[in-house]
Homo-oligomer: A and B are copies of this chain.
Amino acid sequence: MTTPGPSFTGVIPPAITPLTDDGDVDVASLERLVERLLEGGVHGIFALGSSGETVFLTDPQRDRALEVIVKTVGGVAPVIAGCIEPTTPRVLERVHASQHLGADAVVVTAPFYALVGPHEVERHFRAVAAAADLPLLAYDIPVCVHTKLSVDLLTRLAADGVLAGVKDSSGDDVAFRQLLLAVRESGAAPAFSALTGHEVVVDAMMLAGAHGSVPGLGNVDPHGYVRLHNACVNGHWETARAEQDRLTQLFRIVGAADPATTAGATRGVGAFKTALSLLGVIDSNAVSLPMRRLDETETGRVRAELVEAGLL
């Protein structure tokens, strides 16, 4: 964790949280999922992120999922734990739980629901870092929290040692490129990890200077994302592009659910879980309320894409 370079690099999939049909955490399925990710060569696991249904789980469920992931990983790769709550006091509860359960770093968004401005956002990250004994990564996901973390703020927090990195799910590649440049220039933050959360542009963002990726689709095809990462690191950009194109095609599973009756959360997590159950990795494609699981017709569409991608 104290190497001269960024601590968190490579492919770090945001693990989904398998559920039983009764809504409990499906421990055996989660163990199989993590083992398959590790066999695929991933460089870390992001537990309790958006793909992990973290805002749908109760605190005991979150604790259970994180405990299983940490134990199954067994120290061979870092586990970074999402602490996704609306405000500072509630985030700190999750930070302390994550530390206790053995996470290697925590990931925190800007406040949400609460109406905050730039000063409150900065105070939030500084207060969390001050109270945490683990490295802190910012999770920039305006589509969920409705605040974009500015390049200036992230650079300042990096330079001050508040942040060990960022998971960028902002969709704002212009700002991400400017951040990469600013952090590089600041000099004060050689260990800052810039990870892209957008699974269909990993090649492009790696060319732009990212250190790794947090691809939801990596739950389904970890091997592909590891090949993609390695190609980028080795400067084999045409190979990377071809692999990325294949994965972009596979990403169409998120279009399997009927758009007239489902929205973002259901379509993404629902598709990843359906694919993983078709692949025999997890037992059920059950998702939390108010989402619904993909039905038979929709499952058929996922199956077709898996076949097309050579995974089934």
Interface residues of A (CB under 8 A from B): 23, 55-58, 84, 86-90, 93, 111-121, 123-124, 127, 143-146, 171-174, 177-178, 181, 198, 200-201, 203-205, 207-209, 235, 237-238, 240-241, 244-245, 248-249, 251, 261-266, 268, 288-292
Contacts and interface: CB of A to CB of B under 8 A. Distances in A.
B177 A248 contact: yes
Name the prevailing secondary structure of the A interface residues: helix
A290 B111 contact: yes
B173 A120 contact: no
A120 B174 contact: no
Contacts of A204: 173, 177, 201, 204-205, 207-208
Given A201-B174, A208-B203, A208-B204, A249 B112 contact: no
Nearest to A23: B89
Contact of A123 (B55, B84, B177, B289): B289
15 contacts: A55-B90, A56-B89, A57-B89, A84-B113, A113-B113, A113-B145, A116-B266, A116-B290, A123-B290, A171-B171, A173-B204, A177-B201, A204-B204, A207-B241, A235-B237
Contact of A112 (B113, B116, B237, B251): B113
Nearest to A119: B261
A204 B119 CA distance: 33
Contacts of A118: 263
A113 B173 contact: no
8 closest A-B pairs (Cβ-Cβ)?
Answer: A115-B264, A117-B263, A204-B204, A88-B289, A124-B290, A55-B86, A123-B290, A120-B290
A58 B144 CA distance: 21
Given A116-B265, A181-B249, A88 B201 contact: no
Given A87-B289, A115-B265, A198 B181 contact: no
Contacts of A181: 245, 248-249
